[in-house]
Amino acid sequence: MQGFEVVLPDKATMEHTVIPAIEALNRKDMEGARNLLRIALQVLLVRAVNTVILASDDMHDLLPRDDPLLKKCVDPMDALARSTIHWAQSVEKALDWSVVQLAQQDPRGSPYALHMRCQSSVSED
């Protein structure tokens, strides 16, 4: 990623907090998993990490919505959904602009010809 440094938990953090947090979660020990997750997040934040991408929705759901640590975390599915919506909106705007340009250039004003031109210009990309 340009402009970002990826920082992973070190071996000790993985062995003593992250993996045990996942194991606690699998045992349905929510309090233990929550406490271990908080420790892992604090370790990353001490290392000057600004944002933590949580690898699991289950991890994201461990912390209460008003937990200050959660504000430093990103749910990867949420980020993917937002990125996809942004991309779709930018494509839609580009297509709308192409349709306007084609309508101005088509002396016949035929909606079918306009549709065909728009489709062919999209498939050329």
What is the separation of C-alpha 67 from the centre of its chain, rounded to a whole number of angstroms? 20
Numbers of helices and strands, H then E, in the chain:
6, 2
pTM as predicted: 0.62
pLDDT of res. 61: 85
pLDDT tens figures, 95-115: 666 655 555 555 555 554 544
pLDDT of res. 85: 86
Place of tokens 């937002």: 82
CB atoms within 10 A of CB 40: 22
User: Using an 8 Å Cβ cutoff, are 51 and 73 in contact?
Assistant: yes
| Distances 21 to 29, 41, 70, 121 between C-alpha atoms, Å | 9, 11, 16, 51
Backbone angle region of 74, left / alpha / beta, with phi > 0 → left and psi within -120 to 50 → alpha? beta
pLDDT of res. 30: 96
Side chain identity at residue 56, one-letter code: S
CA angle, residues 103, 109, 114, in degrees to nearest 5: 55
pLDDT, averaged across the chain: 79
